[in-house]
């Protein structure tokens, strides 16, 4: 069934529309005086909000912020977000943090009933939360005529293109800490792409599967056999050939694939970064999700920065799968140099793995 979009809502003039947004923005400062450091997620919702308000709808936004664990906490108040939203979209309302109630994450029926009270229509534009079966995501479509907002519509269009009709060669670059966090998408992508480049902390589990000593580097021993099976089946998996890290005395060092006892790998090495760049530059479609190292530490940011620059320089269709990769692109000033930066790291990977998300399924099943 086709995903309903804004035009499928019918007449919206005079209607009250609940818009589930993802205003989970980064903030700094004391708990009672938080300041937004990046309003990208607020601005990303504006096309949907403006479409509705320009057609005479009253818009009420709802979002989560942080992890307050079902308890009202001033640190996670929506007040700073509400103030910024008032500047960008005057007259648009914003309810308090959905996760102040345990009913949000618990998908409680009474919580959903209170949330939709007085609402005529529902729009989900929170792609970053669409992979979670939370109350505000899957609850309102049970009773309200519903649609995807412009942000979700675009995310699905881009990611569907990657799943169904990528231009080839199609290359995926995966990083991050744990194989277990991305095992499903690894298994899906490795059968879909022409080459899969693996960096980040997860590469050490793969290197261990090849029999290389990895010192004290991060390794999921219970995943080694699984990684070995993937490497045996798919020669298209490319692993690092050199590593940047710390030796047993905590001194910055460069290693090959074999790390001595006590050493810790923290980033891909320059040879690997160059090899990954060559593959990216020869591709026609590139997906990147997960940093190549601990890029928050300048000593171990070169691998991630090199991959980010290759994404920016590539003439391929380039997609950054949200999360830390998106943060890295923004930090390096390269976010505008790729074709698409997803607003949902976990959601984008889950969509690539399964081709659907709980929030999208709920929209398709909503009353017409």
Query: Residue 54 has which token pair?
Result: 């320009």
For residues 289 and 322, the answer to whether their CB atoms sit within 8 Å is: yes
Q: Which pLDDT does position 281 carry in this prediction?
A: 98
| CATH 3.40.640.10, domain 6-149, yes or no | no
Among the listed residues 303, 323, 345, 359, the single catalytic one is: 323
**C-alpha angle 145-148-152 in degrees, rounded to nearest 5:** 165
Nearest to 309 by CA among 297, 321, 301: 301
By the 10 Å C-beta count (0-12 exposed, 13-18 middle, 19+ buried), 184 is classed as middle
Q: What is the pLDDT of residues 120-157, one digit of tens each?
A: 999 999 999 999 999 999 999 999 999 999 999 999 99
Helix runs in the chain, H state only: 40-44, 46-54, 79-88, 102-106, 109-116, 135-138, 150-164, 179-190, 203-209, 224-233, 270-282, 302-313, 323-331, 345-354, 358-364
Average pLDDT of every residue of the chain:
95
| CATH 3.40.50.2300, domain 166-354, yes or no | no
Q: Which pLDDT does position 138 carry in this prediction?
A: 98
Among the listed residues 103, 293, 321, 346, the single catalytic one is: 346
Nearest to 56 by CA among 150, 105, 135, 120: 120
Q: What is the pLDDT of residues 46-105, one digit of tens each?
A: 999 999 999 999 999 999 999 999 999 999 999 999 999 999 999 999 999 999 999 999
**Residues 165-192: what's their mean pLDDT?**
92
Among the listed residues 15, 20, 41, 182, the single catalytic one is: 41
Helices 302-313 and 270-282, packing angle to 10 deg: 20
Domain with CATH 3.40.50.1260 in the chain: 6-149, 166-354
Q: Does the annotation mark 118 as catalytic?
A: no
Q: Does the annotation mark 323 as catalytic?
A: yes
**What are the beta bridge partners of residue 19?**
61, 123
CA of residue 30 relative to chain centroid, distance:
27
In the chain, what is the greatest distance between 2 CA atoms, to the nearest angstrom? 69
Q: Does the annotation mark 82 as catalytic?
A: no
* Omega within 30 of 0 (cis) for the link into 108: no
Among the listed residues 178, 284, 299, 364, the single catalytic one is: 178
For residues 239 and 264, the answer to whether their CB atoms sit within 8 Å is: no
Least reliable range by pLDDT among 159-168, 179-188, 356-365: 179-188
**What are the beta bridge partners of residue 264?**
246
Query: Residue 78 has which token pair?
Result: 């929506």
Q: Which pLDDT does position 90 carry in this prediction?
A: 97
Nearest to 162 by CA among 23, 365, 345, 348: 348
CA of residue 82 relative to chain centroid, distance:
23
Q: Does the annotation mark 178 as catalytic?
A: yes
């Amino acid at each position: 069934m086709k995903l309903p979009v804004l035009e499928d809502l019918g007449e919206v003039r005079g209607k009250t529309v609940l818009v589930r947004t993802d205003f989970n923005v980064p903030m700094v400062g004391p708990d009672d005086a938080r300041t937004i450091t990046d309003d990208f997620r607020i601005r990303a919702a504006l096309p949907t909000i403006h479409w509705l308000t320009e057609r005479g709808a009253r818009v009420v936004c709802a979002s989560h912020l942080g992890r307050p664990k079902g308890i009202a906490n001033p640190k996670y108040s929506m007040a700073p977000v509400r103030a910024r939203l008032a500047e960008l979209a005057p007259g648009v309302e914003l309810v308090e943090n959905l996760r102040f109630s345990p009913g949000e994450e618990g998908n409680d029926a009474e919580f959903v009933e209170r949330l939709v009270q007085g609402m005529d229509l529902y729009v989900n534009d929170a792609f970053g939360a669409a992979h979670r079966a939370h109350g505000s995501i899957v609850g309102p479509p049970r009773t309200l005529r519903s649609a995807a907002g412009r942000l979700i519509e675009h995310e699905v269009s881009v990611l569907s293109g990657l799943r169904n009709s990528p231009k080839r060669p199609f290359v995926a670059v995966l990083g991050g800490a744990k194989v277990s966090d991305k095992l499903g998408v690894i298994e899906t992508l490795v059968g879909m792409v022409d080459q899969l480049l693996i960096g980040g902390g997860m590469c050490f589990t793969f290197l261990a599967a090849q029999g290389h000593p990895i010192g004290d580097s991060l390794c999921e021993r219970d995943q080694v056999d699984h990684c070995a099976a993937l490497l045996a089946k798919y020669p298209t998996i490319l692993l690092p050939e050199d590593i940047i890290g710390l030796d047993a005395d905590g001194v910055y060092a460069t290693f090959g694939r074999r790390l001595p006892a006590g050493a810790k790998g923290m980033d891909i090495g320059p040879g690997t970064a160059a090899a990954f760049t060559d593959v990216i530059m020869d591709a026609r479609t590139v997906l990147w999700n997960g940093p190549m190292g601990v890029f928050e530490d300048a000593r171990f940011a070169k691998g991630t920065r090199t991959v980010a620059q290759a994404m920016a320089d590539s003439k391929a269709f380039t997609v950054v799968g949200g999360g830390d990769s998106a943060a890295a692109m923004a930090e390096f000033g390269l976010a505008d140099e790729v074709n698409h930066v997803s607003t949902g790291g976990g959601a984008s990977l889950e969509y690539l793995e399964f081709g659907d998300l709980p929030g999208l399924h709920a929209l398709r099943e909503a009353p017409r």
